[in-house]
Chains A and B, each alone.
Chain A
Amino acid sequence: SQTIHQWPATLVQPVGSPLSLECTVEGTSNPNLYWYRQAAGRGLQLLFYSVGIGQISSEVPQNLSASRPQDRQFILSSKKLLLSDSGFYLCAWAKGQGSYEQYFGPGTRLTVT
């Protein structure tokens, strides 16, 4: 069966510090991978998606970046965090052409102070 991992679960970082969140998927190959952010009481905002190694599509211009160094690994990064980067970050994977359901990880709660 497939599983998706995210770490860390919670993170408190000062403004201006760097960020690296990692997501890995097990039990499937060549998944589509996604990063979302959910602000308090808000919906999910799509940040990045990837359909293959090294292929990243950015949805929202901001100070975040994503990379996919391996088939089942997706990394979200920032060089300098802003207060507005606080939120609940969710990684998800989906099969095939995008008409399949998404499976979400447990999320990372990021607080920028």
Chain B
Amino acid sequence: SQKIEQNSEALNIQEGKTATLTCNYTNYSPAYLQWYRQDPGRGPVFLLLIRENEKEKRKERLKVTFDTTLKQSLFHITASQPADSATYLCALGVGTYKYIFGTGTRLKVLA
């Protein structure tokens, strides 16, 4: 069956450290993968998109990798800050118009 898995447990890290979140998928062949941030009671906000032919993408303190052989994406936040605390969702682009979301990982950055 098709599955997308993100770290189900909340991730607590110390301010200034690098947070690494994982997104694993099975039985999909996504053309691209996206990461979103969601704060409580709000809609998700787009962060980064990476295509299947790209290995890595960066934006300021954010970095995403995409390994289509391992069927895994890693999302890194360097020099993390308490304001980075949120739930982070990965989403696979499957087909031309469809997106399949993971359940998200809740990140808490401790001051």
Contact = CB atoms under 8 A, between A and B. Distances in A.
A binds B: yes
Nearest to A36: B101
Interface residues of A, number: 28
Max count, chain A CB within 10 A of own CB: residue among B4, B51, B98: B98
A92 to B, nearest CB: 7
B45 A42 contact: no
A104 B98 contact: no
Interface stretch (A12-20, A43-51, A62-70, A77-85): A43-51
| Interface class of chain A by DSSP | strand
Nearest to B96: A98
B25 interface: no
B89 A44 contact: yes
A6 B93 CA distance: 24
B44 A44 contact: yes
A104 B104 contact: no
Interface of A: 32, 34, 36, 42-46, 49, 51, 57, 59, 88, 90, 92, 94, 97-107, 109
Interface of B: 4, 31-32, 34, 36, 41-46, 49, 51, 89, 91, 93, 95-104
